[in-house]
Chain A
Amino acid sequence: MLLAGGQGSRLGVLTSKVAKPAVSFGGKYRIIDFPLSNCINSGVDTVGVLTQYQPLRLNTHIGIGIPWDLDRNIGGVTVLPPYEKISSTEWYTGTANAIYQNVDYIDSFNPEYVLILSGDHIYKMDYEVMLDFHKQNKAECTIAVMPVPMEEAKRFGIMITDENRKITDFEEKPENPRSNLASMGIYIFNWKTLKEALTAEADQPNLDFGKHVIPYCHKKGAPLYAYEFTGYWKDVGTLNSYWEANMELIDIVPEFNLYEEYWKIYTKSEALPPQYFASTSKVEKSIIGEGTEIYGEVYNSVIGCGVTIGKGTVVRDSIIMNHSVIGVDCELNKTIVAEDVHIGNGSRFGIGDEAENETDPHIYNHGLVCIGEKSVIPEGITVGKNACIFGVTDESDYQNNELPSGKTLNKAGEE
């Protein structure tokens, strides 16, 4: 069961029209491709995807699951939105509540075990190894954990285990952590145990795995185990961590290697043609998606599919998503450009001194410029750092053809 309903509000305008799992990543992928590919590569061929927030792009991306070979006669992928019931129609109010509302779906397969995943992490993991661990320990619930630096531990749910990895205690975002094993939000339950816990706790508001279901199981004395994972795992919950994770892909031998034959990541391919580089182009330390045409210069950047970058334009340390068009003689520094954006000739981004964002300093920081999907930016605009633009804009929206650092220009009507 893949939880893909969250908004991911800390990604700012990137998730104003799409759910976080549907945000582009690494040129041609979307975040949900990673857990979905892990599923099929681990032999999990029955996957329910729970959607709620802005599901359109997620639905069209998943379809009947062809890219992941999840178009099956039995099982396969099923998209599970919240639905109306005779009594108590409600949205998914929490992670566990979403599962609780789909008990019938799970029951229809009568499974022994249920794997709970979240749709917003970048990693490669063999869930079968985790399941073997679960069976070996005769656990009723296994939680995947990874060691984090002690000083960061207070941002996570922390598991305290004995020498056999049996969980003895846990704490949610503790002030003084007693362990550095952070929960990754990946659980394996015996379906019987989970169903019982969900039914017993059903009346809790915002029913959540970390806050209610796991404590309930622990209180009942069910054996809980922690499965330690030491590979690459990245939460891309904030703009800065999203940008960093993308930038890590362009290292010469990246820690997270997409070029291995083993454990491929699958995605719906929107474009097939090769990339074209004009004789005026320069490119260094970048990854670039299919069908992109480059007439300008690209350094240290991640470029999606079907992008056009005009002559004389210089792109540095930036992310440009699918089908965006960048005019000629532009300059982009540390800029995240969402899908289908049009940038007029001679516009410059990430220029000048840093200034704290006036509306959402917790989202737009680290000097990043963020441009929401389908935005249009006229010619000759200069944009500062920590700025954000969303919507169709023209010259009259800018003073002196300028958007200073830290300003937000949102013409799309909603945050």
Chain B
Amino acid sequence: MRAIGIILAGGNNHRMKELSQKRAIGAMPIAGSYRAIDFALSNMSNSHIQKVAVFTQYNARSLNEHLSSSKWWDFGRKQGGLFVFTPALTAENSYWYRGTADAINQNLEYLKSSHEPYVVICSSDCVYKLDYNKVLEFHIEKKADITVVCKDMDARVDIDRYGTVKMNEECQIMDFEEKPVVAKSNTISCGIYVIRRRLLIEMIERCAEEDRYDFVRDILIRYKDQKRIFGYKMKEYWKNIASVDDYFSANMDFLKSEIRDYFFKQYPDIYSKVDDLPPAKYNPGAHISNSLISSGTIVNGTVEDSVVFRKAFIGNNCTIKNSIILNDVYIGDNSYIENCIVETGSTMKANSYHKGENGIEIVVENSERFVM
């Protein structure tokens, strides 16, 4: 492959509410047995990108744990591999990452010491499959300076948290607005960029000299009239999970057979860290309908229209409806849960009752757990 990869996994955001207290968004569990960053990493690996850097900063423990070995994504090799960059004190610098461009600037050596001509930059919080080679081919064909992967969003979707773009018929981006109050277009940027490595180094260095730190605002928007910036339209499934509602609906999408088919059965695969959990177990009293259940889980009750992650325990006579139960949750007997996201590691006493009345409720409950 002619590119190296950069995955930006440093940010925090308040739209994830309690869910981001525990972890960076890239480490959010998704679709029963994956983490959000698995999609970006698997796409990189499946596009034959051999050298990938992950920039982390906010609450990276869970993410670092997930990335503790690079072999799951086939990055455990002598040539290239997976690099995790957290901010570090150096002789020249004692700042945290002040923005995406600053993160790249603080690790510019990674870009300078590589020899591949291109860089693919993406974020860690999106669910999609994409062969970056196709974007790169488009980039070369258009003789673009920067290519931005874009997607037409459904008119009903609220797009005020995305960057919106306007393209001409040549696919050149004429206008780029970050998080507009009133959007002029329903084409959004997916946060995936292809750029020539030397150009990126040059622009990042110029940015740093001017004390500018943000890749979108200070590079894309600032240079949109000077550089040839093109938009590659993505038609396939793509979803950003960085808000509670989007996170919930992205998980629920996997209850649709065409989405499961697309991600789990069609080439290429999505990889994740392997946990060595036993198969899921269903005891008498288990009733399951339209749900996803992951390995290591033991079910004794009713589960409907829900996604249950790994190593959960659902007690006798429980009812779980339209909910997401994250990893390692213990739900005591006779509990009722509807329209909820139950946070990783929660322990619920018997007879608990949680129902999200206005939208999705996030449940964090750490009662004492008694295990055999």
A273-B31, A273-B32 given; A283·B281 CB < 8 A: no
Partner among B272, B280, B283 whose Cβ is within 8 Å of the Cβ of A288: B280
Does residue A209 face the partner (Cβ distance < 8 Å to B)?
no
From A265, A273, A279, give the contact of B264 (CB < 8 A). Answer: A273
Chain B hits for A286, CB < 8 A: 281-282
Whether, in the assembled complex, A406 has its beta carbon less than 8 Å from a beta carbon of chain B, the answer is no
Q: CB-CB contacts of B43-64 with A at 8 A, as 1s and 0s?
A: 0000000000000000000000
Residues of B contacting A27 in the complex (Cβ-Cβ under 8 angstroms) = 278-279
Interchain CB contact under 8 A, A265 and B288: no
Q: Does B293 contact A (CB under 8 A)?
A: yes
| Bitwise interface map of B from 261 to 298 toward A, beta carbon under 8 Å scored 1, else 0 | 00110000011101010111111111111111111101
Flag whether A289 is at the interface (Cβ < 8 A): yes
B292 touches A275 (CB 8 A): yes
Chain B residues 306 to 360 lying within 8 A of chain A, measured CB to CB, are 307-309
Asked whether, in the complex, the Cβ of B283 is within 8 Å of the Cβ of A289, the reply is: no
Whether a CB of chain B sits under 8 angstroms from the CB of A211 is: no
For the complex, give the distance between the alpha carbons of A252 and B263 in Å.
33
The one of A276, A278, A283, A287 that contacts B278, using a Cβ cutoff of 8 Å: A287
Contact with B along A262-303 (1 / 0, CB 8 A): 001111010011111111111111111111010000100011
A342 vs chain B, min Cβ distance (A): 16
Cβ contact within 8 Å between A287 and B280: yes
Chain B CB within 8 A of A129 CB: no
B284 adjacent to A277 (CB under 8 Å): no
B201 interface residue per 8 A CB criterion? no
Asked whether any CB of chain B lies closer than 8 Å to the CB of A12, the reply is no
- Residues on B with C-beta less than 8 A from A277 are 288-293, 303
Given contacts A273-B32, A290-B294, 12 further A-B contacts (CB under 8 A): A265-B278, A272-B34, A273-B263, A274-B294, A283-B282, A283-B288, A285-B283, A287-B278, A287-B279, A293-B260, A298-B282, A303-B279
Q: How far is the CA of A265 from the CA of B294 in the complex (A)?
A: 17
Q: Which residues of chain A are within 8 angstroms of B257 by Cβ–Cβ distance?
A: 276, 293
Which residues of the partner chain B approach A288 to less than 8 Å between Cβ atoms? Answer: 279-280, 282, 293
Judge whether B290 and A265 touch: CB under 8 Å.
no
Complex partner residue of B276 from A265, A276, A298, A303, CB under 8 angstroms: A265
Chain A residue nearest to B304 (CB atoms) is: A279
B22 touches A (CB below 8 Å)? no
Q: How far is the CA of A265 from the CA of B276 in the complex (A)?
A: 7
Q: Decide: A272 and B293 in contact? CB cutoff 8 A.
A: no
Q: Do the beta carbons of B32 and A283 come within 8 Å of each other?
A: no
| Cα of A283 to Cα of B287 in the assembled complex, Å | 7
Known: A272-B34, A274-B33. A259 touches B264 (CB 8 A): no
- Residue B260 contacts which of A252, A276, A290 (CB distance < 8 angstroms)? A276
Any B CB within 8 A of the CB of A99: no
A-B pairs with beta carbons under 8 Å apart, 18 shown: A26-B279, A67-B276, A250-B281, A269-B276, A272-B34, A273-B32, A274-B31, A274-B295, A276-B257, A277-B293, A283-B286, A284-B283, A285-B283, A287-B279, A287-B280, A290-B295, A291-B264, A303-B279
A252 CB contacts on chain B under 8 angstroms: 283-284
Within the complex, the shortest CB–CB distance from A217 to chain B, in Å, comes to 38
Q: In the bound complex, what is the Cα–Cα distance between A5 and B260 (angstroms)?
A: 39
Select one of B31, B270, B278, B291 contacting A259, CB under 8 A: B278
Is A412 on the interface with B (CB-CB < 8 A)?
A: no
The residue that A66 contacts in the complex, of B71, B255, B272, B280, with Cβ under 8 A, is B71
Residue of A nearest to B263 (CB): A273
**Nearest CB on B from A33, distance (A):** 10
Once the chains are docked, how many angstroms separate the CA of A26 from the CA of B279? 8
Query: Does B276 lie within 8 Å of A266, measured CB to CB?
Result: yes
- Interface residues of chain A, those whose CB is within 8 Å of chain B, are 26-28, 66-67, 250, 252, 258-259, 264-267, 269, 272-291, 293, 298, 302-303
Known A-B contacts A272-B272, A273-B33, A273-B260; the reply to A28 vs B279 at CB < 8 A is yes
In the bound assembly, the distance between CA atoms of A66 and B71 in angstroms comes to 9
Chain A residues with Cβ below 8 Å from B288 are: 277, 281, 283
Contact with A along B180-202 (1 / 0, CB 8 A): 00000000000000000000000
Q: Which residues of A contact B308 (CB under 8 A)?
A: 274
Q: Interface size bucket, B side? A: 35 or more
Find out whether the CB atom of A284 lies under 8 angstroms from the CB atom of B290. Answer: no
A71's nearest neighbour on chain B, judged by CB, is B71
Which residues of the other chain, B, contact A273 by a CB distance below 8 angstroms?
31-33, 260, 263-264
Report chain B residues within 8 Å CB of A285: 282-284
The 9 closest A-B pairs by CB, nearest first: A274-B32, A27-B279, A258-B278, A274-B294, A277-B288, A279-B289, A273-B264, A274-B292, A287-B279
The answer to whether A272 and B270 touch across the interface, beta carbons within 8 angstroms, is yes
Cβ–Cβ contact A282 & B281, under 8 A: no
With A282-B287, A284-B282, A284-B286 already in contact, the answer to whether A272 and B298 are too (CB < 8 A) is: no
Residues of chain A with a CB closer than 8 A to B298's CB: 259
Min CB distance A194 to B, Å, is 33
Instruction: List residues of chain B with CB within 8 A of the CB of A283.
Output: 282, 286, 288
Which residues on the A side are within 8 Å of B281 (C-beta)?
250, 259, 286-287
Interface residues of B in 152-185 (CB under 8 A from A): none
A381: min CB distance to chain B, Å: 27
- A328 shortest CB reach to chain B, Å: 15
Shortest beta-carbon distance from B140 to chain A in Å: 34
Separation in Å of the A321 CB from the closest CB of chain B?
12
Q: From residue A107, how far is it (CB to closest CB) to chain B in Å?
A: 31
Q: How far is the CB of A221 from chain B (nearest CB, A)?
A: 45
How far, in Å, is A402 (CB) from chain B's closest CB? 33
CB-CB nearest in chain B for A26? B279
Also in contact, A274 and B289, with CB within 8 A (given A26-B279, A284-B284, A291-B264): no
Q: Which residues in A have their C-beta under 8 angstroms from that of B71?
A: 66
The answer to whether A275 touches B293, judged by C-beta atoms less than 8 angstroms apart, is yes
Task: Give the CA-CA distance A30 to B99 in the complex, in Å.
Answer: 49
Task: Give chain B interface residues in 235-260, CB to chain A under 8 Å.
Answer: 254-255, 257, 260
Cβ-defined partner of B274 (8 Å) among A26, A269, A275, A280? A269
Which of chain B's residues have a CB closer than 8 A to the CB of A289? 279, 295
Of all chain B residues, the one with the shortest Cβ separation from A273 is B264
Given the known inter-chain contacts A286-B282, A290-B33, please indicate yes or no for A275 contacting B294, CB distance below 8 A. yes
Are A264 and B286 closer than 8 Å at their CB atoms?
Answer: no
How distant is the Cα of A291 from the Cα of B280 in the complex, in angstroms?
Answer: 11
Residue among B33, B287, B291 making CB contact with A276, cutoff 8 Å: B291
Query: Hey, which chain A residues are within 8 Å of B33, CB to CB?
Result: 272-274, 290
